[in-house]
Amino acid sequence: MINHHFSNDTIVAVATAPGVGAIAVIRLSGPEAITITNTVFKGKDLTTQASHTIHFGTIRDADKVLDEVLVSLFMGPHSYTKEHVVEISCHGSDFIVQQIMQLLLKHGARLANAGEFTKRAFLNGQFDLAQAEAVADLIASDSALSHEVAMKQMRGGFSQEIKRLRGELVHFASMIELELDFGEEDVEFADREQLRTLILHIQGIIRELLKSFELGNVIKNGVPTVIVGKPNAGKSTLLNKLLNEEKAIVSDVPGTTRDFIEDEINISGITFRFIDTAGLRETTDKVEALGVERTMQKLSQSSLIIYLFDITEVTAEEVQAELDRLNPKKMPIVAVANKIDQATPGKLKAFDSIEGLLTISAAKGAHLEELKQGLVEKVNLGKLNVQQHTIVTNLRHVDSLNKTYAALDDVLNGLALGMSGDLVAADIRRALYSLGEITGEITTDDLLDNIFTKFCIGK
């Protein structure tokens, strides 16, 4: 269980992004948050004010007025960290912010580490570990779907599912351990058949959760979409058009792109990570050959393939052969004919046999909307109801789920072999331990450091 955590120091950090803004917010948390602020604040005595109130005044270094500010007070435990929290809203200049920070440090506050506010919130039981991690995901979310998934996890949807599974196992572990207390007397409180059914059920749920990671990862990190094709097909032109930026060099020299170039955009709430690659061909140029090798690598690592070809240069048969050759694993692939501005209607007709073919002119920007919609349909995330399903987005959770699954396999084997209660109980405990790591019932300092140092300072 989580013990209430009492910090004896008061931390401070800038909570807003650096740079010029209308306002900036400096946040303090800890036992001295209010008293430290009070020593530099002139206007009224903050130590006698009620929680959840806002006060106008000035921040002064001796007689020098640094800024006019608003101070918000949140008294523990009714705050984000459950400690006393003060937020100072000042004018958003880096100079002012630094001056006020210096002053607060001089009066006894300590600079917060990355994620330290959220770590304190976790240690004080504001939320569990999976929820704390979702706070970071929420800040980083850049699409409607990633936002929705992070929001659900932050509100405890995923944690509840894990805790429910854990609760059922705890029941059996304690029954078996009770048997052990009776020693020689050969009693069985825990129905072995029921336990087996439960474990199979839990493993089924874990498999679903692990499967959801494929999707979760795509939602969080974007759909890796590789653009491949022969040299000069117009891949770099297409990338630039999609990104609305001259990111890649375009030229009529075949073999222009040697290395891959990538960037992401959001289409209909889904993040796509587009990767432009070196054109595919046999080549004696050493550097270009390395580029082609990388293209093949990127191809196998992506979730979606755009096969782009110059319609004036090839036949439908050649295209079909390339599509089959490049995609033996039958990944989602979109065949796209480029340079239709130069194709005759007869030429276009000859490509009717290619399934789901899209026709564009990258250079002229024609039919790009159709291409974007085609990509969205291929991914088919839009139809997915992330409210209904629990989706795993975090590699750490995947790792813990895998360990739980393996421990449950051992329980099943133990039961099948009629192993003694203490051995079975030990395997159940191991499964419980791994599940507990997800929500933070089980933590180590390393684990916590690992998680919270990935946060930004001030969160």
Ligand X SMILES: Nc1nc2c(ncn2[C@@H]2O[C@H](COP(=O)(O)OP(=O)(O)OP(=O)(O)O)[C@@H](O)[C@H]2O)c(=O)[nH]1
Q: Which does 254 bind (CB under 5 to 8 A by kind): Mg ion, ligand X, none?
A: ligand X
CA distance readout (Å), 380 to 212, 219, 272, 279, 304 = 14, 12, 13, 28, 11
| Shortest distance, position 247 Cβ to Mg ion, whole Å | 11
| Residues 6+ away with beta carbon under 8 Å from 83 | 7, 29, 30, 31, 33, 76, 77, 120, 124
Segment interacting with ligand X, rule: CB under 6 A, options 65-73, 180-188, 249-257, 389-397: 249-257
Interaction of residue 220 with ligand X, rule CB under 6 A:
no
Kindly tell me which of 311 and 431 has the beta carbon lying closer to ligand X.
Answer: 311
Residues in 357-376 at the binding interface with Mg ion, rule: CB under 5 A: none
104: enclosing H helix or E strand? helix 94-106
Interaction of residue 363 with ligand X, rule CB under 6 A:
yes
Closest CA to 231 of 217, 245, 250: 250
Kindly tell me which of 314 and 376 has the beta carbon lying closer to Mg ion.
Answer: 314
Q: Which does 362 bind (CB under 5 to 8 A by kind): ligand X, Mg ion, none?
A: ligand X
| Residues 6+ away with beta carbon under 8 Å from 392 | 158, 209, 210, 212, 213, 216, 398, 401
Interaction of residue 236 with ligand X, rule CB under 6 A:
yes
User: Residue 331 in contact with residue 296, Cβ under 8 Å?
Assistant: no
E strands present in 145-280: 223-228, 261-267, 270-276
| Residues 6+ away with beta carbon under 8 Å from 253 | 232
Residues in 247-266 at the binding interface with Mg ion, rule: CB under 5 A: 256-257
Interaction of residue 236 with Mg ion, rule CB under 5 A:
yes
Kindly tell me which of 146 and 237 has the beta carbon lying closer to ligand X.
Answer: 237
Interaction of residue 250 with ligand X, rule CB under 6 A:
yes
Closest CA to 38 of 28, 97, 92: 28
User: Residue 359 in contact with residue 337, Cβ under 8 Å?
Assistant: yes
Segment interacting with ligand X, rule: CB under 6 A, options 156-164, 232-240, 375-383, 443-451: 232-240
Interaction of residue 232 with ligand X, rule CB under 6 A:
yes
Kindly tell me which of 249 and 417 has the beta carbon lying closer to ligand X.
Answer: 249
Buried b (16+ CB within 10 A) or exposed e, 364-390: eebbbeebeebbbebbebeeeebeeeb
| Shortest distance, position 160 Cβ to ligand X, whole Å | 49
Segment interacting with ligand X, rule: CB under 6 A, options 79-87, 142-150, 261-269, 333-341: 333-341
Interaction of residue 283 with Mg ion, rule CB under 5 A:
no
Interaction of residue 421 with ligand X, rule CB under 6 A:
no
Kindly tell me which of 231 and 458 has the beta carbon lying closer to ligand X.
Answer: 231
Interaction of residue 291 with ligand X, rule CB under 6 A:
no
β pairing state of 304-310 and 223-228: parallel
Binding footprint of ligand X on the chain (CB under 6 A):
229, 231-237, 250-252, 254-257, 278-279, 338-339, 341-342, 361-364
Binding footprint of Mg ion on the chain (CB under 5 A):
235-236, 256-257
